[in-house]
Structure 1
């Protein structure tokens, strides 16, 4: 059951390509941004490392301002590959030494899928937060989730991640994070 358990000392939060020009055609971009903000709050409460990528920012813009202003202490990576598991990310993950990765971002069936596939192939446990990822179409979104689940990713949701990190009520972290869940 360890594969399905999230402990704050074992996990890294990875945001994939939540960028200005990518969010425009996404029907559920607002939900992805809102839930990613909640996950950033959890990462901050538990001192979890946060990494984020930007796919060709010269053409697609930077990370949306609603997230970027919260990522001052996160590590940013520019990329042109669709996978976010590029050499620089591999190196920092090796340095961090944590083997569980929580993923948010876009698009589910392209960059999120390829990243999950590559991380799983390299021995990581991957948690894809399904209400924090999106694609332009519902079919592509569902196909991406299905492929990742078939490969061994845990497809989860924001509330499950938060409450698994919390483990119990009454803690200082619970008081902060429970207010964010509506």
Structure 2
């Protein structure tokens, strides 16, 4: 998947929606927006206004003091989604793991401009002990039970996701 593909955008939007519906804390980072541009409008629209947003120059979020402080707390699991898998996502996940945090990379909510870079990064992350998951498995883990009040809405949203070539 490429960063602007409809498949990628749909999955990352669903992940953001599910996190909001289930009160899962979210923070957004933007790599050098002055040079690379703002957050894509399709993603910005999917996020509540209350989501903290950090601009950064470091590739790893852990190397930025404000982001690192925002990640502190009693949660030991951090889920990562975004771009570029082989740069910012990779370095952040490896740094989180090195700090004893459980880093999860949501593979279908991450992308690189070159598919080979995305695949290589996922292979490396897996070898280095970072956990890999999909949007669908993550949302169902968050729900835990088909009787959850948000189950029908989120299950319908998952079912309506556009299929990718790798979904067949």
Q: CA deviation at 1:177?
A: 0.8
* Map of 2:10 onto structure 1: 34
* Equivalent position to 2:87, from 110, 116, 123: 110
CA root-mean-square deviation = 1.6
TM-score when normalising by structure 1: 0.81
* Map of 1:156 onto structure 2: 133
Which deviations, in whole Å up to 9, do the C-alpha atoms of 1:1-23 show, x marking residues without a partner?
A: xxxxxxxxxxxxxxxxxxxxxx9
* Map of 2:43 onto structure 1: 67
* Map of 2:70 onto structure 1: 92
8 A Cα contact 1:83 1:118, kept in partner:
yes
Please give the alpha-carbon distance, in whole angstroms, between the structure 2 residues aligned to 1:145 and 1:83: 16
Structure-2 change in CA distance of 1:53 and 1:27 (3 Å)? closer
Please give the alpha-carbon distance, in whole angstroms, between the structure 2 residues aligned to 1:29 and 1:51: 22
Please give the alpha-carbon distance, in whole angstroms, between the structure 2 residues aligned to 1:116 and 1:165: 20
8 A Cα contact 2:79 2:105, kept in partner:
yes
Please give the alpha-carbon distance, in whole angstroms, between the structure 2 residues aligned to 1:60 and 1:39: 23
Indicate the SS of the match to 1:129: strand
* Map of 1:7 onto structure 2: none
8 A Cα contact 2:3 2:83, kept in partner:
no
Which deviations, in whole Å up to 9, do the C-alpha atoms of 1:65-103 show, x marking residues without a partner?
A: 111123211111111111122211111111x42110111
Q: CA deviation at 1:144?
A: 0.4
8 A Cα contact 1:29 1:134, kept in partner:
no
Please give the alpha-carbon distance, in whole angstroms, between the structure 2 residues aligned to 1:140 and 1:77: 25
Q: How many residues align?
A: 157
8 A Cα contact 1:32 1:105, kept in partner:
no
* Map of 1:49 onto structure 2: 25
Q: CA deviation at 1:157?
A: 0.6
Q: Which runs of 5+ in 2 are unaligned?
A: 160-168
Please give the alpha-carbon distance, in whole angstroms, between the structure 1 residues aligned to 2:138 and 2:20: 14
